[in-house]
Amino acid sequence: MMNPRHEFTPEERRKGGRTTADRYGREHMSEIGGLGSLATAEKHYSGDVDAMMRDLRTRAEAPAVWDERLGCFVRRVPPLPLD
């Protein structure tokens, strides 16, 4: 049995994802991806999928800046206004 604290390498994660996709097929993976999107919209956007997609597009268009603390590039965007 694998150590539960094992940190998977990017290659291990990629191989696991491909194995799962091969095992269950494109349709299944598409279905669970859609369910994940709906769950995210429900949890963080009060079920408003359009608001979630607008926010994701805004984040994707934001310039990436280097964050010394995190050691990677991040996209900083203002939080969504609360209704």
What does the pLDDT look like over 41-66, one tens digit per residue?
A: 999 999 999 999 998 998 888 899 99
Distance of CA 48 to CAs 12, 34, 37, 40, 77, Å? 35, 14, 11, 10, 19
Q: Cα(59)–Cα(45) distance, rounded to whole angstroms?
A: 15
Residue 38 is predicted with a pLDDT of 96
What's the pLDDT tens digit per position in 4-40?
Answer: 778 899 999 999 999 999 999 999 999 999 999 999 9
Average pLDDT, the chain: 89
Residue ranges of domains in the chain? 10-75
For the cut 70, the answer to whether the pLDDT of residue 83 exceeds it is: no
Q: What is the DSSP string of 22-78?
A: HHHHHHHHHHHHHHHHHHHHHHHSTT-HHHHHHHHHHHHHSPEEEETTTTEEEE--P
Decide: helix, strand or coil at residue 11.
Answer: helix
The whole-number pLDDT of residue 49 equals: 95
User: Is the pTM value of this prediction over 0.85?
Assistant: no
